[in-house]
Amino acid sequence: MSDSIFGKIISGEIPSEFLYEDEHCIAINDINPQAPVHVLVIPKRCIEKLSDAQDDDQALLGHLMLAAGKVARQLGVEEAFRLIVNNGAGAGQTVFHLHLHIIAGRQFAEGKMVG
Ligand code: AMP
């Protein structure tokens, strides 16, 4: 478990409502939402950032993608959402415990990665 805020949420040290939980990950609402739906899918085992992942993390990474799809269906946004991973401080990563942002419920500019 990491010492990051997400590690503390997963361990229960910081109380948080889990929208989804399974053996390997949780999903919570982002505390500072950038869209009407802004959910974080967080693995229970800490990988600091995606570029630290190794071959033996393959199953976990696949699991997170499947969990993101399930959470999107649970929230009714499965037809239109973005899945974002910020990797490294230069890309805006602020919590160094890998997580997937599910962003939905707003207009997305067609063909653009951001905005
Ligand atoms: P990133 O910038 O990709 O590292 O994303 C970290 C995200 O975690 C940001 O969108 C924050 O708003 C969010 N965040 C930080 N602390 C909490 C918290 N206690 N509960 C929920 N989300 C949080």
Catalytic-labelled residue, pool 38, 97, 99, 101 = 99
Q: Could you give the count of Cα atoms lying within 13 Å of 17 in the half-sphere of its Cβ? A: 5
Give 78-103 pLDDT, tens digit per residue: 999 999 999 999 999 999 999 999 99
Q: What are the pLDDT digits (tens) for 24-74?
A: 999 999 999 999 999 999 999 999 999 999 999 999 999 999 999 999 999
Whether the per-residue pLDDT at 109 is higher than 90: the answer is: no
Please name the fold of domain 5-113.
HIT family, subunit A (3.30.428)
Question: Which residue's CA is the closest to the ligand 1 atom numbered 3?
Answer: 93
pTM: 0.96
Q: Return the best residue to mutate from 40, 41, 52, 99 for the ligand 1 pocket (most ligand atoms within 8 A of CB).
A: 40
Mean predicted lDDT score pLDDT of the chain: 95
Q: How many other C-beta atoms lie within 10 A of the C-beta of residue 109? A: 8
For the chain, the domains span 5-113
Which of 22, 10, 20 is closest to 71 using CA atoms?
20
Q: Per DSSP, what are the bridge partners of residue 20? A: 27
> Is 90 exceeded by the pLDDT of residue 106?
no
